[in-house]
Chains A and B, each alone.
Chain A
Amino acid sequence: MEGKVIVITSGKGGVGKTTATASIGAALALEENRVVVVDMDIGLRNLDVVMGLENRIVFTVVDAVNGVCDIKQAAIKDRRIKDLYLIPASQSDNKDVLEAEGMIKLCGELRKQFDYVIIDCPAGIEKGFQNAVAAVDEAIVLCTPEVSAVRDADRIIGLLYARSITPKLIINRIIPQMVERGDMLSHDDVVEVLSIELLGLVPLDENVVVSTNTGIPAVLQKNSPAGEAFQRIAKRINGDVDLPFEIPRTNRGLWKKLAQKIGMRRRGA
């Protein structure tokens, strides 16, 4: 069976695409899938650092597309998680070096060797975005509960629909205290505007910063709310569609379980 190519995109920069790519990739691999994460943020590579693999880079995605090396050479094996690989971006090129055809060919080959191909998309809607989405089967739009991030996510959603891709939504960096005070958009506000299927809600979590700096993925850390949220997202991607959503809450740092499904199902609210 052929694997799935999934892009993680946002429009706006710095909302957590790279963090999400690394976390979801790791979580899917922990569930016994063969996973490769591909850094398409050419010229501003990050994913290797977040995964703690930067000193192993020999070849990059540009080399793989241009046939300088084969996929086996470009894909770096993760140090901790079996069946997780990284194809890094190149730091010296810029986003114009690749063409959509090259990406389509590369993704075609990756599909044969992996169950999931997760692409870390650069910010923006220009060539880098277009290359990153050229060959995808599914798209995940990442958004933070900020008006500007919602605006950009909405733009990206329109562009994805124009390519016949139906995106799903992750809301990242939710701060429950602020939502409860009314100082931050709630996930309902965001879903109401974006009106696409919700895949998960991720709270702001200090552990993410620690994991970014140590290269240990948040999904491997104990008591990391963001790590747990990404694990549930991976389960949903992996087919567990009935997994209930957990809304980030403040009470004693615990997350209240919610039996009901939220988001798109609201009716007559």
Chain B
Amino acid sequence: MKDEKRPVRLKGVGDSLWVSIDPTQSIETLKQELITVFQRLGHLTIQAKVVLDLEDADGNYDSLILDIRTFLKETYNVASVLENDKKAKTEKKAPPPLPDWDKKWKSKKSDVLFIAGRIRSGQRINARRHLVVLGDVNPGGEAMAGGDIIVLGSLKGKAVAGQPNNHDAIILALDFKPTQVQIGMNVAVGIDTDAPQTAEFARVEGDNIIVEEYMQANPFAKLHWPQAR
């Protein structure tokens, strides 16, 4: 296969998303390519800072950048879109250090909304990323998150995790009796409310939401290294 240079490439994910684009391409092509790249990133794009790298292109592309900025903000809810300034560009980039898997979680800034209390009917708690509720979610109450939802109590209302489209997210409750759960774009309803009180969690498999007893499945115990979520 020919190593053809794509018009849009993701160069790095850290504090910000570094995306290099070829400004000589048409805006349609660029949007198409951006969709491919951003779709894969899932919830990481929410409120992300995006830095556009126009590589070595000469000329003025201000209106192109403006178009891309509006597109990304509207479609992926990113916080900002900036052009990489020339100075930084001329600096020689140091090769990225090899990840030390054993310590990688250390560099992770916590991104969890941790709340205590009861979410009552008509109330909605919205977390940018993960949500932990030390308490119950009542029928009619709503817990929403960009990532996982953990309820250390009874989940009897609605839980919406992995918004807008993170299908890796899970919903876990010590007493799992939601009226409805959503993970990414998947929706499940009608979970048996007479079931005994056990810790269960919901995850996506294919196009379905599966609910399993948590300790029996113990899904994350299978990971070899502690990882930040």
Contacts and interface: CB of A to CB of B under 8 A. Distances in A.
- Give the interface centre of B138, B139, B156 by most chain A CB atoms within 10 Å: B138
Contacts of A159: 122
Interface string B121-148: 1110000000000001011110000000
B118 A195 contact: yes
Nearest to A159: B122
Nearest to B135: A195
A193 B140 CA distance: 11
B40 interface: no
B120 interface: yes
Interface string A138-157: 00000000010011101101
A215 interface: no
Nearest to B156: A193
B139 A147 contact: yes
A158 interface: yes
A159 B138 CA distance: 14
Contact-residue bracket for chain B: 10 to 19
B122 A158 contact: yes
Nearest to B122: A155
Contacts of B156: 193
B139 A151 contact: yes
Contacts of B121: 151-152, 154-155, 158
Contacts of A154: 120-122, 138-141
A158 B120 contact: yes
A154 B140 CA distance: 9
Contacts of A151: 121, 139-140
Contacts of A193: 138-139, 156
Nearest to B123: A158
B164 to A, nearest CB: 27
A185 to B, nearest CB: 12
Nearest to B119: A158
Contacts of B136: 195
Contacts of A195: 118, 136
B117 to A, nearest CB: 10
Contacts of B120: 154-155, 157-158
Contacts of A152: 121
B39 to A, nearest CB: 37
Interface in B33-48: none
Contacts of B122: 154-155, 158-159
Nearest to B120: A158
A152 B118 CA distance: 15
Contacts of A158: 120-123
A195 B117 CA distance: 11
A152 B140 CA distance: 9
Contacts of A150: 139
Interface in A114-143: none
Interface in A214-266: none
Contacts of B138: 154, 193
Contacts of B139: 147, 150-151, 154, 193
5 contacts: A150-B139, A152-B121, A154-B140, A158-B122, A193-B138
Interface of B: 118, 120-123, 136, 138-141, 156
Interface of A: 147, 150-152, 154-155, 157-159, 193, 195
